[in-house]
Chains A and B, each alone.
Chain A
Amino acid sequence: MTPQPRWIRSIRALFALAVVAILGLSGTLSAQAVSYDPITGTGSTWSQNALDQWRKNVASNYGMTVNYSGVGSSAGRRDFVAGNVDFAVSEIPFQTAPEDGSAPEVPSRGYAYMPIVAGGTSFMYNLKINGSRVSNLRLSGEVITKIFTGVITKWNDPAIQTDNPGLKMPDKGIVPVVRSDGSGSTAQFSLWMSKQYNSLWGQFCVKVGKPASCGLTSQYPTYGNAKAQSGSAGVAGYVSQDYGEGAITYVEYSYALKAGFPVAKVLNNAGYYVEPTANSVAVALLQAKIKTDVPVTSPDYLTQILDGVYNNTDPRTYPLSSYSYMIVPTEVGGVFTAKKGLTLGAFANYMLCEGQQQAAALGYSPLPMNLVLAGFDQIKRVPGADVSGVDINNCNNPTFKAGDSPSSNQLATSALQPAACDKVGTSQCVTGTAGATDDTATTGTGTGGSAATADTAAATAAAAGAGAGAAATTANAAAAGTGGAAAAVYDENGALVSGGTGGTVSTGVAGSAVASPFTLADNGWGAQQSIMLFAGVLLIGSAVLPPVLWRRLKPRAPKAGNK
């Protein structure tokens, strides 16, 4: 044990240095943060990306410590009820009559809802056609519901193919990825399905052993081929892995941006497939009914009713848009004190104004003026909050300029009309979505030729690329040459592809190589297996042979000596 003091000593020295450094840092930090007590909150992972950015900003700019852990909206609301946290973040309000018959959530201290950010629940997917990533998938609401209720299980289902005339959908199983923990995203998504596709959702409820009118749920039931993962990062992480090919999940748009993955454009009531950008979310939420007809002290004040959003007929609408709420205490109680109220008020004021500048870049949509004003009212109810800085004229929020009317939204007025190729029909834009924008021009994953009407050059380039890809796949090298033969294999899909533009139908062949190679494992004794066997024999040999040979070789020497 004695030989190591030197390196132990050096490790000790390093450790001591690190401790000193940490102490020094925390010393300077606490010197800055004289005026703000740290506050702690839990809840939604849907809006966690925005909150994390804001937390970082207030920590470096104002020396404010805001702790937040994304444990899911359900757990966040429970923590708030128990009084363990200063604030909670949730997509849905406290459930006074939870539909699964569990006890109502009733916080003991007073509380208020304050909207913090808007966003679109998006459908992030991982899909490849001939080895190149699809980034322009389009889905209608009914198809999405059928995917997440186990009615549609294959990517080449005729309904999906109809939504995507420009893609030759592969014969691959869909892996829906749902949340395994109690989640506000699940609640928002299931609420949308239960309102818009009531019969499909009802059938699903019955299938998983619930009453037919099961409405919104925070716990997604597992079914069929679905995978359940915990947290938004968990589901997004699953989809973005290599083994996630064929997977689709519901998650906030910012997670897809961060992961560099595309999201599905969703069909709105005006017949356009729209991506959940900041603008399309802002347009959609113009139709959100925010409860302001009840007194400010009512627990329902500012809660959202989204039926108008789902059915908004503006062509720029993303139908699954919603607000996320911070639940703030209006009474001192639990761990919450008036000193913490000062921090909470300042942080909330930062979020509603300055923080919204970054919302769009993070994948969210900034709050409009009316909600900022309403949020200000809520800040004023937080005990201990300093309201002197809360002023709409000093509010640097991108959705309004000084002197605007509260009901207008600069983002909505500046939102562009969707491209013609995004309309229901035979054309399909080739541009990528969300985090996969870089791939756009070259992917041309739209193997079907109809592609963008705007940019035929890109479409033909894409078609050429797809042809080359097909030639490279050994499984169907012959088929690639003769387009008609392979098209006959997938006749029902071929028919749909030819419905696009006749000229480039032959590229439809490319899809034929997708599904079959994986199922050929039964007769697979090839070079790889031989090498593995050889390696195994070598491994065993290296362990067994030395002692055996050693004994064989050893006796000879004494024998020789004896002679």
Chain B
Amino acid sequence: MPISSLVSPPLGDSPLGDAFGADPAVFDPSSPDSRPRRSLVSRPSISDSVFRSVAFSAGTITVLIMLAVGVFLSLRAGDALGVAGVNFLFEQDWSPETKKFGIASVLFGTITIAVIAMCVAVPLALGTALLISEVAQGRLKATLVTLVDLMAAVPSVVFGLWGVFFLQANVIPVATWISTYFGWIPFFSVTDATGQALTEASAFTSSAFIAGIVVGLMVVPTQTSVMREAFSQAPIGEREAAFALGSTRWGMITSVVLPFGRGGIIGGTMLGLGRALGETIAVYMIISPIFTINWEVLKTGTNSVSALIALRYGESSSFGLSALMAAGLVLFLITLVINFTASSIVARSRSGAESD
């Protein structure tokens, strides 16, 4: 934040200065010998035009690639969608060989994992972002920022290994405890087919809960940095005004920083959600894939679209591949919508319009 405020004035100043310098010559009507009027359209310098074209083509290519992904997925998914029709969204089983396949259970699993991940990640990210932007100072602040960035750089397969070989064994007692004391809440109960409550450790392994925790920890850094950036842009004048009116630090945070950073919180959450929906390898390593809708999130067995694709890709016929493409298309569209919403919210909040 200090850096940006120091750096921005010179950048903003120079074009303005140029414009003012040029102005008198152009708009001086009293000049007697009328030279041919200079065009008001600025002629870009060579470096300007090169930069413009590079930037334009980069932007266009990015958009084109994304469109191409969408088009490719739709084309390849056409076969499968033509056979399955609208049932594709409601069928739980996945068996393209017998033409009986759909993503109801897979999509349900994806969303459960993502929602659990958000329940874990949002409070953590919010707290960390506030700590970094409002509480920590100096060297501690720099160290925390580095640590969070480091966490973002850890590959997801490492998170997956850690989840399988360390976290899972340690989370099982927690899951057992939750299901014992909060089993009366339907999705926290863990029961077998006859409705009998299960207490064995094996009933709690490879669940959406564990996968959700791991994915949640993976998206914390993304969310933290978006939120931190939004918080650090809360205007210093309003912060000081709050302090001047006798506010405590907490009072200042609730009355200035959080309202100002609301867009950042929502945007960060949704960006994280987008990543959580698409997370593949960590989920693939932890879950035990099933093809029925499992409401009991603590119970073993769940599924996710990206893990399904990773698992079945190697073994598929061309029709099976088409079905996987259709599943990928649905995930692509959902992620796209979420990310667009998120980025528009973030962009809106950066204007400062929401600080009231």
Contact = CB atoms under 8 A, between A and B. Distances in A.
Interface of A: 1, 3-4, 71-72, 74-75, 78, 98, 100-103, 172-173, 175, 180-182, 209, 218-219, 222, 225, 227-230, 234, 237-238, 241-247, 518-519, 521, 524
Contacts of B314: 71-72, 74-75, 78, 181-182
B300 to A, nearest CB: 7
Contacts of B300: 227
B211 to A, nearest CB: 13
Interface stretch (B27-35, B77-85, B195-203, B267-275): B195-203
B164 interface: yes
Nearest to B320: A102
Contacts of B139: 3-4
Contacts of B68: none
Contacts of A4: 139, 142
Nearest to A77: B314
B316 interface: yes
A177 to B, nearest CB: 9
Given A229-B206, A521-B180, 10 more contacts: A1-B142, A175-B202, A181-B315, A182-B311, A225-B202, A227-B206, A228-B288, A230-B285, A243-B169, A246-B202
B196 to A, nearest CB: 9
B202 A234 contact: no
Contacts of B288: 180, 222, 227-229
Nearest to A79: B314
A101 B317 contact: yes
A4 B146 CA distance: 12
Given A243-B201, A247-B202, A74 B180 contact: no
Name the residue in A74, A225, A521 with the highest tally of chain B Cβ atoms < 10 Å from its Cβ.
Answer: A521
Nearest to A242: B169
Contacts of B2: 1
A189 to B, nearest CB: 16
A275 to B, nearest CB: 26
A153 to B, nearest CB: 11
Contact of B168 (A3, A241, A519): A241
B353 interface: no
B201 A234 contact: no
A172 B165 CA distance: 24
Contacts of B3: 1
Interface string B87-118: 00000010101101000000000000000000
Contacts of A521: 180, 197, 199
On chain B, which size bracket covers the interface? 35 or more
Contact of A98 (B98, B100, B317): B317
Interface SS of chain A: loop
B212 interface: no
Interface in B191-215: 197, 199-202, 204-206
B209 to A, nearest CB: 14
A44 to B, nearest CB: 12
22 contacts: A3-B138, A3-B142, A4-B139, A74-B315, A75-B315, A78-B315, A101-B317, A102-B317, A102-B318, A102-B320, A172-B200, A180-B289, A181-B315, A182-B314, A218-B315, A222-B290, A229-B206, A238-B206, A241-B169, A243-B201, A244-B202, A245-B201
Nearest to A98: B317
B172 to A, nearest CB: 5
Nearest to A76: B314
B325 to A, nearest CB: 15
A78 B313 CA distance: 10
A71 B157 CA distance: 14
B284 interface: yes
Given A182-B315, A243-B201, A247-B202, A101 B169 contact: no
B231 interface: no
Contacts of A100: 97, 317
Contacts of A1: 2-3, 142
Q: Which 7 A/B pairs are nearest by Cβ-Cβ distance?
A: A102-B317, A75-B314, A182-B315, A243-B201, A227-B288, A74-B314, A175-B202
Given A218-B315, A222-B290, A230-B284, A243 B164 contact: no
A521 B164 CA distance: 26
A245 B201 CA distance: 8
B232 to A, nearest CB: 12
B159 interface: no
A444 B168 CA distance: 30
B291 interface: yes
A181 B311 contact: yes
B54 to A, nearest CB: 30
Contact of B98 (A78, A182, A209, A247): A209
B206 A102 contact: no
A228 B290 CA distance: 9
A510 B139 CA distance: 60
B285 A234 contact: yes
Nearest to B202: A175
B311 A173 contact: no
A229 B180 CA distance: 26
B311 A230 contact: yes
Contacts of A75: 313-315
B199 A101 contact: no
Contacts of B97: 100-102
A27 B243 CA distance: 61
A89 B182 CA distance: 49
B202 to A, nearest CB: 5
B11 to A, nearest CB: 19
Contact of A237 (B142, B165, B318): B165
A74 to B, nearest CB: 5
Contacts of A222: 288-291
A453 to B, nearest CB: 35
Contact of A246 (B199, B200, B285): B200
A229 B289 CA distance: 8
A209 B93 contact: yes
Contacts of B93: 209
A243 B172 contact: yes
A114 B67 CA distance: 45
Given A1-B142, A102-B316, A237 B164 contact: yes
Contacts of A518: 199-200
B156 to A, nearest CB: 14
